[in-house]
Structure 1
Amino acid sequence: MENYTYNSYILQLEGLNTSKDSLYPAFLFLFFSYLFIMIINVGITILIFMNKNLHQPMYLLFCNLPLNDILATSIVVPRLLIDLMRPPSERLISYYQCVVQAYIVHLVGTTSHTVLMIMAYDRYVAICNPFHYVSIMTNKMMIKLTVCAWGVAFVLVGILLGLTTRLSRCRTLITNPYCDNASLFKLSCESVVINNIYGITFTVALYVGSIGAIVLSYTSIAVVCLTSKNKSLNSKALKTCSTHLVVY
């Protein structure tokens, strides 16, 4: 019969399962990947803020993505590196730390979609309404769009984790290298039907919303480009929109 520990505030992370031969190569790979990601994203952010020629809505909105990457990488990889050098029995984390890590993991994942949605809107205004672009995409509007992108993610993920933290826990093993929502609610012996329904609805709405925004904005842009004989406009649309699509 399985033993249960109810509402324990100390959890055990499964971590990465590596053999002794692959331990140090895996550590070095993660470590140098972490350095590379941090250097690239910090460099991009500094470049945009230091170069006045890049103080345009498109680039300033894009700054949200490297900041997002920095946050995501910093909350996951250092912990993975530490746990990698520990035996499985010593990979312990408090419940509250686990919840915070899970929240940030889902927050940055959601924000990456919402930021790309507001970038799609920026491209739509720039190509479809170029004469009013400066008056529409003001600093105030960029702040509103950025707050909206992060605020929506903040609320939606807050509800997601709120539904999980209400559950009592009867297990202590996180069967994942890091904490996420699914791993947390699997610790419970209660019904997680509500969690599953909200999680599926949240995921579907996020993807449909982000893909829908991209499709609508780029369909409008394509119509403008096809009906316009302005080669300069078409070239601008191709350059800016192709970059955005590659990022997506």
Structure 2
Amino acid sequence: MENESFDITSELTLDPFFIPPGGKYPIFFLGIAIYIFIVFCNLTLLTVIIVRKNLHKPMYFILFNLPLNDLIGITAMLPKVMSDIVTETNKVYYPLCVLQAFLLHMYGGGVLFILAAMSFDRYVAICMPLRYSSIMSPRAVIIIVSLVWGLDLVLIVSLFSLQTRNPRCRSVIMNVFCDNPSLLKLTCGNTTLNNIIGLFNTAVMQAVSVSIQVFSYVKILITCVASRRSETKVKAVNTCVAQLVIILIFQIVGTFTILSHRLKNVSADLQKIMGMLIFLVPPLLNPLVYGLYTSEIRTTLMTILRRSRVSV
């Protein structure tokens, strides 16, 4: 049994997909096309928020973090997977594997906390509109965003700091990308503490995110039902639909991913594909959903397109 320490020259082997003959390059080009499209859509959303002064509001300052987080997740995962498919190397240095896993887990926690922050912003805007400017002041928004990334970073660092506790005695990652469970399976020591910290961190992320979202949207619903003004109801629908759709997308994809690893009759390749969807589907759909359901972003994009056509 080989006992390895943290060595920048040590290589791990990733377990590849089964790809039928002739399927390597079509899959590669499809994956690269998806990656380019995701990057383009999210960069477009980021650019629009930056350059358009009418979007320099607390809601969009918080929203800005969502496509940024999506770019971190998709870039940490997809290019490496596509590269391994076309080169058939399926090798990764251990530190780079840890870095990939770290970024992917940061992405997952980031989605939960950002959605929670966005739901709180909508709660204040709809339930306390007269106090919105004072509550969601620039200083308060900076504090909220700092808490989003700070709490995410602390939880993920605490999780990965335990990776060096135990020696490694295996070198095969049973996945097409690196994540904490896969890295944990490489160790030959006692991983009880790692599992406890991992479960605790997951519980904290879900509890904080879900409780804030449930509180916010229940309050919004109560406000809408109690209000006699149709404008309030229309505003609530227009500002919350996009966020609720994104929450549902993330939770549904995450649920299918978890179930695929729990059911015995699911093939290993299907499990790998399902594991990738959590990093593919939300970054693909998030900017499209916001482009369709958020009137200010939709109007801004249409204005930019009209001006571009006129100039051409």
> What band does the TM-score fall into relative to the shorter chain?
over 0.9
Query: What is the CA–CA distance in structure 2 between the aligned matches of 1:207 and 1:141, rounded to whole Å?
Result: 23
Q: Are 1:118 and 2:114 counterparts?
A: no
Q: Are 1:11 and 2:9 counterparts?
A: no
Query: What is the CA–CA distance in structure 2 between the aligned matches of 1:85 and 1:24, rounded to whole Å?
Result: 7
Query: What is the CA–CA distance in structure 1 between the aligned matches of 2:20 and 2:159, rounded to whole Å?
Result: 35
Conservation of the 8 A alpha-carbon contact between 2:62 and 2:118? yes
Conservation of the 8 A alpha-carbon contact between 1:15 and 1:178? no
Q: State the match for 2:178 in structure 1.
A: 179
Deviation track 1:106-128 (CA, whole Å, cap 9, x = no partner) reads 00110110011111110111011
Note the 1:159-170 alignment, pairs <5 A.
159-170=158-169
Query: What is the CA–CA distance in structure 2 between the aligned matches of 1:36 and 1:208, rounded to whole Å?
Result: 33
Shift of residue 5, structure 1, vs aligned partner? 4.6
Shift of residue 241, structure 1, vs aligned partner? 1.2
Amino acid across the alignment from 2:2 = Y
Deviation track 1:203-229 (CA, whole Å, cap 9, x = no partner) reads 222223212211111111111111111
The number of residue pairs the alignment matches comes to 244
Query: What is the CA–CA distance in structure 1 between the aligned matches of 2:140 and 2:159, rounded to whole Å?
Result: 28
Q: State the match for 2:74 in structure 1.
A: 73
Q: State the match for 1:157 in structure 2.
A: 156
Conservation of the 8 A alpha-carbon contact between 2:101 and 2:180? yes
Shift of residue 136, structure 1, vs aligned partner? 1.4
Conservation of the 8 A alpha-carbon contact between 1:16 and 1:80? no
Q: State the match for 1:48 in structure 2.
A: 49
**TM-score scaled to structure 2, two decimals?**
0.75
Q: State the match for 1:240 in structure 2.
A: 239
Query: What is the CA–CA distance in structure 1 between the aligned matches of 2:4 and 2:126, rounded to whole Å?
Result: 58
Deviation track 1:178-225 (CA, whole Å, cap 9, x = no partner) reads 111011111011111111122122222222321221111111111111
- Partner secondary structure for residue 85 of structure 1: helix
Conservation of the 8 A alpha-carbon contact between 2:62 and 2:141? yes
Conservation of the 8 A alpha-carbon contact between 1:173 and 1:187? yes
Conservation of the 8 A alpha-carbon contact between 1:167 and 1:185? no
- Partner secondary structure for residue 11 of structure 1: strand
Query: What is the CA–CA distance in structure 1 between the aligned matches of 2:3 and 2:165, rounded to whole Å?
Result: 17
Conservation of the 8 A alpha-carbon contact between 2:14 and 2:177? yes
Q: Are 1:32 and 2:38 counterparts?
A: no
**The 10-residue stretch of structure 1 (204-213 or 235-244) with the greater mean CA deviation from structure 2:** 204-213
Alpha-carbon RMSD:
1.4
**The 10-residue stretch of structure 1 (150-159 or 214-223) with the greater mean CA deviation from structure 2:** 214-223
Q: State the match for 1:141 in structure 2.
A: 140
**TM-score scaled to structure 1, two decimals?**
0.94
> Aligned pair in 2 of structure 1 residues 179, 242: CA closer, same or farther (>3 Å)?
same
Amino acid across the alignment from 1:59 = Y
* Structure having greater relative contact order (Cα 8 Å, sep ≥ 6): 1
Deviation track 1:17-69 (CA, whole Å, cap 9, x = no partner) reads 32222212211111110011000000010011111111111112111110111
Q: State the match for 1:104 in structure 2.
A: 103
Q: State the match for 1:205 in structure 2.
A: 204
Deviation track 1:57-94 (CA, whole Å, cap 9, x = no partner) reads 1112111110111111111111112111223xx32221
Q: Are 1:132 and 2:131 counterparts?
A: yes
Conservation of the 8 A alpha-carbon contact between 1:48 and 1:59? yes
The share of aligned pairs that are identical, in percent, is 35
